[in-house]
Structure 1
Amino acid sequence: MIIEKVVDTYFGENTYLLGDTKTKKCAVIDPGADVNDILRAANKHNLNIEYIILTHGHGDHIANVKRLKEKTNAQIIAHADEAEILLDGRKNLSTTMRCGRQEFDADIYVQDKEKMNLGELRVSFIHTPGHTKGGMCIRVADDMFTGDTLFAGSMGRTDLYSGDYKQIDKSLKKLARYEDNVKVHPGHGPSTTLGIEKRSNPYM
């Protein structure tokens, strides 16, 4: 498995490339980073981008979805409850960001516990509302991409459209049931593990 992080220097948003070593099939998670940087990272590993997977629909995480789709024809995947936010530039906050208004529909909407194959990798979707109502985490083997639900030492804010503190509290309790050795790749900041967060993160 190949995991490559590309950071957008303006928002500090983490874009991830998830690739299958054998088939070279790749998914880009939350393409807020520059498209050329994403494509260079893919070319470095000879990866073919087939999917764009969104942990949630805020502008800093979707800023370059349409540009990347134009370059790769990748299919966009999001949780079904996030459609409203993806389709409204005010609700996803992109109208207030330098990327400008971003509005689009996903090609595939998924539900909690759905799975898909990425080459020989098995990808699982975990609905974790609270930061947004359609927020989700993505698990592959012992790695989990948590978007803005869980950070190292913190959690996502809940004061934006469709945010809900009670919901994110439930979502964090849901994540706490997973194994301690699962490596967490958040939407901002450094990676961590669920074990570390269970022991030291006050929100867990």
Structure 2
Amino acid sequence: MSDMRVKTCVLGAVSTNCFLVYHDTTKEAVIIDPADNAHYILNKCSELGISPRAVLLTHGHFDHIMAAEDLRRTFHIKIYASETEDAMLADGGLNMSGSWGGMQTSFHADVLLKDGDELDLIGFCWKVIETPGHTSGSVCYYVPGEEVVFAGDTLFCESYGRTDLPTGSSSQIVDSIINKVFHLPDDTMVYPGHGETTTIGHEKQSNPIAFYR
């Protein structure tokens, strides 16, 4: 039986999925895309009895990053993000944190990632897959031993991320999904940045982007 547990917290103005991923034995955790409510996440970690060891960001839009700095300071942990996306994290205009009625935020990640990097976190191997399109520095985090991928706003259940925001590209997101994400095993569970979970096999059959193959 798997030792990985995933707790989904839907937070913020646009219902962002923040994932608390933890090892059921050690209770060590990573926080993926902490959205905008550090207080809620802190309480949920306490409730679950888990100890965060890292914050992983799939991309730099405001609705995925607003609580990251508070969590970094509180738990004394590092923020991981694509080396391409660090410029967006540091620019409140690009990450749109000031334009949606919230407080503008800017910071740098502690660990900058590139395609193919492998992370050893909380007892699992995480593979970094660069998936530009929603933003130029979007990444997915694939855990092959658990057959799960955290897809951010690249791939949704029967949909995919918008490309009309800063650094977005429709041609890149098509290429990223078809030539990278769809190459994962069909039974891989997909945890997207918004909406319901799905599988790679289902998306290859039902996602409109599949017609570009």
Corresponding position: 1:59 with 2:89: no
- Per the alignment, residue 120 of structure 2 pairs with 117
What secondary structure does 1:105 align onto?
coil
| Deviation by residue 1:172-203 (Cα, 9 ceiling, x = unmatched) | 11111111100001000011111110000111
- Supply the AA of the counterpart residue of 1:79: S
Normalising by the residue count of structure 2, what TM-score does the alignment of the two structures yield? 0.92
Amino acid at match of 1:112: D
Contact 2:19 2:31 in 1 (8 A): yes
Query: Does the 8 Å CA contact 2:20/2:29 hold for their aligned counterparts?
Result: yes
Cα distance in 2 for residues equivalent to 1:138 and 1:45? 23
Displacement after TM superposition at 1:10 (Å): 2.0
Q: Unpaired segments of 5 or more residues in structure 1? A: none
Q: 2: distance between equivalents of 1:22 and 1:113?
A: 28
Letter aligned with residue 147 of structure 2: D
User: How far 1:144 moved relative to its partner?
Assistant: 0.7
Deviates more, 1:68-77 or 1:81-90: 68-77
How many residues were matched structurally? 204
What letter matches 1:70 in structure 2? R
The aligned residue for residue 149 of structure 2 is 144
Please state whether the residue corresponding to 2:135 is helix, strand or coil: coil
Cα offset, 1:67, TM superposition: 1.4
CA deviation after TM superposition for structure 1 residue 33, in Å: 4.3
Question: Corresponding residue for 2:167?
Answer: 162
Unaligned 5+ segments in structure 2 are: none
User: Shift in Å at residue 41 of structure 1?
Assistant: 2.3
Does residue 104 of the first structure (1) align with residue 107 of the second (2)?
A: yes
Q: CA deviation at 1:122?
A: 1.0
Q: Distance in 2 between matches of 1:89 and 1:48?
A: 29
Distance in 2 separating the partners of 1:119 and 1:23 = 8
Q: RMSD of the alignment, in Å?
A: 1.1
The CA deviation at 1:9 is 4.6
Distance 2:36 2:62 in 1: 11
**CA distance in structure 2 between the aligned counterparts of 1:99 and 1:32, rounded to whole angstroms:** 12
Query: What percentage of residue pairs aligned between the two structures are identical?
Result: 36
